[in-house]
């Protein structure tokens, strides 16, 4: 792993929190004018990468996306709001949480659509993983997410091991 002391300084969660907004257009939707799940997954990946890039100040690749639920349909004309936040850094990997909201400015409504946890790995120009600065949770909510991310990492590692064994 390569090290750069400036890049290894711990940084607070708030420094890399990101928001991305999209208006759903016909090309994003199925014949019933509902947003395609795949398009939302792409936006979630982008929103998550923004926080991971900002925190690591490096290239990152998506290593894994946890389970995704779509709670409510989103339609053409709706405004989709994606908020991302670094939950925890391990060594070269970063867990980012992305929460998605849909706002309908005609109906004056705002609903929670989806939440996702993504793991990004910081890499150098050759695609080799590199270490990332620790993240500093400052609020009670951020500390809860930090602790939960540790538990999710253990589950993820066990699952990954199980899948690797099945492949071989
Ligand atoms: C992610 C990738 C760089 C890891 O490769 P690697 O460095 O050889 O993997 P290692 O086993 O040494 O693990 C390095 C880190 O990645 C994490 N990691 C690797 N695979 C992971 C997975 N499937 N899920 C979660 N974390 C993973 C490890 O836990 C480790 O984290 P740590 O440094 O914080 O402890 C490599 O698998 C890759 O390039 N994958 C393709 C990524 C990509 O193209 N994504 C776009 C979608 S196609």
Q: 46 alpha carbon to ligand 1 midpoint, in Å? A: 18
Closest residue by Cα to atom 48, ligand 1, is 62
Residues flanking ligand 1, CB < 6 Å: 61-64, 90-93, 119, 121, 123, 127, 129, 156, 160
Total count of domains within the chain: 1
Cα separation values, 77 from 14, 103, 105, 132, 155, Å: 30, 10, 9, 39, 38
pTM (2 d.p.): 0.94
- How far is C-alpha 81 from the chain's CA centre? 13
The 109-123 sheet, strands edge to edge: 18-23, 79-89, 93-104, 109-123, 59-65
CA distance 76 to 115: 20
Rg of the chain over all Cα atoms, to the nearest angstrom: 17
Which tens digit of pLDDT belongs to each residue from 40-78? 999 999 999 999 999 999 999 999 999 888 999 999 999
CATH number where 144 lies: 3.10.129.10
- Domain span at 142: 5-167
């Amino acid at each position: 792993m390569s090290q750069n002391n400036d890049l290894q300084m711990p940084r607070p969660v708030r420094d890399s929190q990101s928001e991305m907004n999209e208006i759903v257009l016909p090309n994003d939707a199925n014949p019933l004018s509902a947003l395609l799940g795949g398009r939302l997954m792409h936006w979630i990946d982008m929103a998550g990468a923004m926080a991971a890039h900002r925190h690591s100040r490096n290239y990152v690749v998506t290593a894994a996306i946890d389970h995704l639920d779509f709670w409510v349909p989103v339609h053409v004309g709706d405004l989709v709001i994606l908020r991302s936040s670094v939950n925890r850094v391990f060594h070269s990997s970063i867990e980012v949480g992305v929460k998605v909201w849909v706002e309908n400015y005609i109906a004056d409504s705002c609903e929670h659509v989806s939440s996702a946890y993504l793991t990004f790995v910081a890499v150098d120009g050759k695609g080799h993983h590199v270490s990332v600065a620790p993240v500093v949770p400052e609020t009670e909510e951020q500390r809860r997410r930090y602790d939960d991310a540790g538990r999710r990492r253990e589950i993820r590692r066990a699952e990954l091991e199980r899948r690797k064994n099945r492949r071989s």
